[in-house]
Chain A
Amino acid sequence: MINQIPVNLFRFLLLLLAQILVFSNANFTSFVNPYVFPLFILLLPFETPRWLLMIIGFLSGLALDVFLGSTGMHAAACLLLGYLRPTLINVITPKGTEFEISPNVYGQGIGWFLVYLGISMLIYLSFYFVVEAATFLNFFLLFLKIILSAAVSVSFMLIFLYLFSAKKKRRYA
């Protein structure tokens, strides 16, 4: 558990920089705002207790907010993600699966990750974009924005996972 801290700290910094310097700077279109930063919370070790997930989520979201000038919004969304993560993992993982220490694309497989990331990002972006817009007036446009952004975010996350995941180092928890 202890050696997980530097790994996650490094991942946090990498994702934070990638988010603020690349993805939030790129201005794809007004409909596609990809967010890869939540991957940090999603890749925390399986055994992280829920209260710690929530606090890490809240604080890391706040850190992202500081750079993006959206005080509180990412904090609220990351907090929600941290709160729902254990429930989500329970729901989508078949009974009797052997867990590694952290979610790993080679361990759990691409299918599991697509579902995991897809549902997480839909929750995250729905919450974030609704709070950001603070209105349901252009409901259809908002819906389109959430779907497109989630799809693009998940694609980038998968690229990240394949770039930085350790291959076939099975360590059973």
Chain B
Amino acid sequence: MYNLFRFLVRYYLFFLFVLLEVFSFYLIFQNNKYQQVAYINEANRLSGRVYSTYTGITDYFYLRSFSDSLVAENARLHAQLSDSKYYTGIDSIRKNDTIGKYIQSYEYLTARVIRNSVNQASNFIYLDKGKLQGIHKYMGVINSNGIVGQVANVTDHYCAVRSVLNKDSRVSARFIKNQFSGDLHWDGINSTTASMDNVPKHAPVKIGDTVVTSGFSELFPRNIMVGTVKKVKMEPDKDFLDITVSLATNFSSLDYVYVINNIHRNETQLLDSLTKEK
């Protein structure tokens, strides 16, 4: 008690100052409406900033689970697109009422890229899903922007995808405008472009035309984005156009991808082998 008293006496000037200031501010807020309101506004603004900064930081911790759930939802929505379904109706004219006439034909499995390269002649992408998750050789791989490649090898937990940026890759593609189709392959130089072969000279191809998958192979459903036409060249001694396609997929920043399971693959392969035996 004595010490407290000594403390008060020693710093009495400062305490007098604080006391009088507190009294002044009491007077200010008692008698000035504007300062009253403005002070409350300022206090609210400050607390609002603190809270929004706080949520801005904590949101980062939930980002992973949040994006995982979004990717899962994307896979589900992809599966609901009509391009992923197989029409079971047998009538020659398609009716408006198509409920119950479609069965699932493609499934989508989400995966993450664990290793990637774009600067070699044969680029492979490694994913964190494998045989145990239902991935098999020759499945197609896409991401939200466009095609990525096809599964080349599978282990129990991982798989290697032969990227479109691989000299051995061949993807059947077509123009969304006029249905002319061709084969997409990589020329091994630029990671943002690929060449399209076997497009006949009379096809009306213009720069900027959209190229999508044709659905002719078992890899991809129809109408998956491939890219846009960047250059068209007509050489007099060739029967086909010389087309450069700028790819929609940015291969140097791949993360989440979808592996496509074609449920009817066995059937079409069986049909293929039966036809070739003859």
Confirm or deny: A72 has a beta carbon within 8 angstroms of a beta carbon on chain B: yes
Asked whether A134 lies within 8 Å of B24 as measured between CB atoms, the reply is: no
Stretch at the interface among A18-26, A74-82, A109-117: A74-82
Asked whether A71 lies within 8 Å of B31 as measured between CB atoms, the reply is: yes
Asked whether A80 lies within 8 Å of B21 as measured between CB atoms, the reply is: yes
Asked whether B24 lies within 8 Å of A75 as measured between CB atoms, the reply is: yes
Cα–Cα distance between A70 and B27 once the two chains are bound (Å) = 9
Chain B residue nearest in CB terms to A74: B24
Also in contact, A134 and B42, with CB within 8 A (given A51-B13, A54-B20, A76-B25):
yes
Q: Which residues of B contact A133 (CB under 8 A)?
A: 38
Chain B interface residue number, banded: 20 to 34
Asked whether A132 lies within 8 Å of B16 as measured between CB atoms, the reply is: no
Confirm or deny: A58 has a beta carbon within 8 angstroms of a beta carbon on chain B: yes
Cα–Cα distance between A62 and B45 once the two chains are bound (Å) = 30
A112-133 contacts to B (CB < 8 Å): 131-133
The 10 closest A-B pairs by CB, nearest first: A72-B27, A76-B24, A134-B38, A72-B28, A71-B31, A83-B17, A72-B24, A75-B24, A135-B42, A134-B39
Which residue numbers of A lie inside 8 Å of B, CB to CB?
A: 50-51, 54-55, 58, 61-62, 65, 70-73, 75-76, 79-80, 83, 131-137
Which residue numbers of B lie inside 8 Å of A, CB to CB?
A: 12-13, 16-17, 20-21, 24-32, 34-35, 38-39, 41-42, 45
**Can you identify 21 A-B contacts, CB atoms within 8 angstroms?**
A51-B13, A51-B16, A54-B16, A54-B17, A54-B20, A58-B20, A61-B24, A62-B27, A72-B26, A72-B28, A73-B28, A75-B24, A75-B27, A79-B21, A131-B28, A134-B35, A134-B39, A135-B38, A135-B45, A136-B42, A137-B45
